[in-house]
Structure 1
């Protein structure tokens, strides 16, 4: 068999050694007598798999202890709704930096749940640049500032990590969609309030969404936020409140 070169935006290619190990363990994971797809997500076998996957991600990205790692579903597009439902709290306004197609979709979805202020936009350049931080016009009291740090459609990546402390607004959480370049380099997680991304580009198979959220941002969900999407509920239940994408977590880990 000849493996093809895969230049897809996602789902992306997986390492052959990962696929071979998964094939070997398909019918019997570590002598358990069952494959991972058959396991209870609350059983000791799968909870060990999920715990190791979380520990590995925490180590790779040097995620601080005051951040929670959540394994969710729905992809990054679903997070465009889930994030404002969780972070708005009693605030009315959320700020968005629009640098391309993905952040455009994000701010459009957020308008269902919040008043959106476009803090900066690269529209004048045809979405070929990222506005300098000194050009960002942050609202007086936004719930967060949203960024998409790598816009795959336009091919625009942030050349810097957005640090609002540099413009005197360090109290405002930065939210970052890192779907297409998470784990491609080291980042300073502490500069962000929330990082999220679909796993299918850089981490593992489709079906898994990674959310890394600072603990003080938990517990502010809107009353109409579905329980299964409430970050506090997901965190308090170790991402097992509802059945997670178990096989995707296993492959990603």
Structure 2
């Protein structure tokens, strides 16, 4: 690990592994001795075809999915998929949704705009989204149930997926390949790449092939057309897919999702242990619903929170400001954040508490 001058706790775009940054730097002038920068290679070239096919294979392996799933590399963010997924696979146009905060609400709104009926089957709204609600098998017939596995803003996550007979569709944007799930009875896994898998501009969708059927949707929304074109109906985000493949290879070389989850639990555990015993800082999330990747906390005093954020920045701990909807602070400990970053943050938290806890 290189000596880092700054630890970046941004919720996204987020850190890349140091080795990936170095590989990108090496490939920029001439990719694979082609004489062309990796940012210049054609998406129709053999060079890129190898990259995108390798990335698909690596992703399925890391997710422990069979080739019964098609991998699509798309644009438009996970937000586009809030509508695109139900339009493609919700045959009766009736789905269920678990409300765990901002992004599940956004998914509901976009699906409704696309003419989909959405039933909220569970919610943690009454608990201010400080926990993951219990999800029971719904009585009504639904095409699927939409879950946001990790809630970036609220700092909550599923430790394991609910055991239901209705299929699941999972927005995994903020814990994509950060912890292990058993993807039994899952129709679609999707998310933006810019937190754990790469850079902004790429959205990844893994969808069961038997759900990809002919429809009348426009090409850029149509899973069947996009699949037939290998995600290249138009020019795809070549550089973002190349970067994602480097991160996927990095993760495989570490030992896969099981190994990175172990590391993420060590990082988050260090920070949670401090917060649980702090006289100044508080984490509001119930322990069985805590996220490994997005940890929210505050002093309960806006002025003191702002002081912490500014002084942390002066100590090279950056992007710790919480989302505008909840305030306070948020430390995003995605896959590329080293353990040393969590240590540096806890060391500063301890110092700040010693200097300020009596002023709260």
Q: Does TM, scored on the shorter chain, surpass 0.5?
A: yes
Indicate the structure with greater helix content. 2
| Structure 2 equivalent of residue 102 of structure 1 | 103
Question: In structure 2, what is the Cα distance between the partners aligned to 1:138 and 1:249?
Answer: 41
1:2/1:155 CA distance change after superposition, 3 Å: closer
Residue 43 of structure 2 contacts residue 49 of structure 2 at CA under 8 Å; is this kept in 1? yes
Question: In structure 2, what is the Cα distance between the partners aligned to 1:17 and 1:232?
Answer: 36
1:13 aligns with 2:15: yes
| Structure 2 equivalent of residue 73 of structure 1 | 75
| Structure 1 equivalent of residue 186 of structure 2 | 192
Question: In structure 1, what is the Cα distance between the partners aligned to 2:239 and 2:12?
Answer: 17
Question: In structure 1, what is the Cα distance between the partners aligned to 2:231 and 2:240?
Answer: 13
Structure 2 residue matching 1:213: 3-state secondary structure: strand
| Structure 2 equivalent of residue 29 of structure 1 | 31
CA distances 1:31-75 after superposition (whole Å, capped 9, x unpaired):
111112211112101001111111111111111121111111111
Written as runs of structure 1 = structure 2, the 5 A alignment for 1:1-253 is 3-89=5-91, 91-112=92-113, 113-134=115-136, 136-140=137-141, 142-164=142-164, 170=165, 172-219=166-213, 221=215, 223=216, 225-253=217-245
Residue 94 of structure 1 contacts residue 145 of structure 1 at CA under 8 Å; is this kept in 2? yes
Residue 162 of structure 1 contacts residue 191 of structure 1 at CA under 8 Å; is this kept in 2? no
Q: State the shift of 1:138 in Å.
A: 4.8
Q: State the shift of 1:185 in Å.
A: 2.0
Q: State the shift of 1:173 in Å.
A: 2.2
Structure 1: runs of 5 or more not aligned: 165-169
Question: In structure 1, what is the Cα distance between the partners aligned to 2:69 and 2:93?
Answer: 25
Residue 88 of structure 1 contacts residue 220 of structure 1 at CA under 8 Å; is this kept in 2? no
Higher relative contact order (CA 8 A, sep 6+): 1
TM-score (normalised: structure 2): 0.64
CA distances 1:209-244 after superposition (whole Å, capped 9, x unpaired):
0101111211164x3x22112111111211112211
Residue 10 of structure 1 contacts residue 201 of structure 1 at CA under 8 Å; is this kept in 2? yes
1:220/1:126 CA distance change after superposition, 3 Å: farther
1:17/1:92 CA distance change after superposition, 3 Å: closer
RMSD: 1.6
TM-score (normalised: structure 1): 0.91
Residue 26 of structure 1 contacts residue 35 of structure 1 at CA under 8 Å; is this kept in 2? yes
1:26/1:138 CA distance change after superposition, 3 Å: farther
Residue 73 of structure 1 contacts residue 208 of structure 1 at CA under 8 Å; is this kept in 2? yes
Q: Larger radius of gyration, structure 1 or 2?
A: 2
Question: In structure 2, what is the Cα distance between the partners aligned to 1:86 and 1:236?
Answer: 15
1:122/1:220 CA distance change after superposition, 3 Å: farther
